[in-house]
Amino acid sequence: MYWSKDEEIADSFLRRAEESGYSAIVVTLDTPMMAWREFDLKNVYLPFLAGEGVGNYLTDPAFCSKLAKSPKEDPASAITYWTQVFGNSSLTWDDLAFLRKHTKLPILLKGVLHPNDAKLALEYGVDGIVVSNHGGRQVDGAIGALEALPLICDVIQDQIPVLMDSGIRRGSDVIKAMALGAKAVFVGRPCMYGLAVAGEQGVKEVLQNMIADLDITLGLTGERSVKELNKSILMDSQNLGHSLLKEGIKHGV
């Protein structure tokens, strides 16, 4: 969920998510506004202004009720209004009460990188955290999600699920994240690449390949299941002899 400045639109998105069968609301914290992206500026590239990628708005009844004409009749005015209501930089932790009031679904916060925010997430009773730096697209030089992950997990202590997003490209990336405490990972950009190359089939093959890579790499660690993963399979800077491939190669693999 990209939280709109217009509360009626935000409420409409929540209701539509519930009615469509979604099982949770994932609130994007790190994109209250678009970042400074030099390549996009150089290429004069913002597909939203051409109506691409904003279909949820252009078909939303609350959004459309604000327009003099429908998006089909006057797409330029609809896009202009979208630029006015997308994102909300005034939000604070107390605004989570709005979500609780308007949805019964679990609420996860995506974009948590600092342990103090993890503590606040617990205090405000959220149902899960997604450690993410938005794929490195928002703040140049921000801490990597994988670096932040164990810091967040140390705070959460399994009280709520911690998921990890940003930079998952191979099976070994999944293993590292789960060894550091993630309960699951998000796979974003690789799926987009597969979609661009071969549509739905491309997405399926990307995920099938990643699962196969994960399965093989898991075997090479000597573990039978991702549930068995912990920090012991990772390189320890204090003990360089302890590496990703566990000593003895457990289970005879």
Report the catalytic residues: 134
Contact 226, 179 (CB under 8 A): no
Contact 186, 130 (CB under 8 A): yes
Question: How many other CB atoms are found less than 10 A from the CB of residue 35?
Answer: 13
Give dist(CA 56, CA 192) in Å, integer: 18
- Assign residue 4 a region: left if phi > 0, alpha if psi is -120 to 50, beta otherwise? beta
Backbone torsions φ then ψ of 26, nearest 5 degrees: -105, 110
Question: How many other CB atoms are found less than 10 A from the CB of residue 142?
Answer: 16
Residues facing residue 163 across a β-bridge:
130, 184
164 by DSSP, 3-state: which? strand
| Sequence-ordered list of residues with C-beta below 8 angstroms from that of 137, at least 6 positions apart, any chain | 35, 37
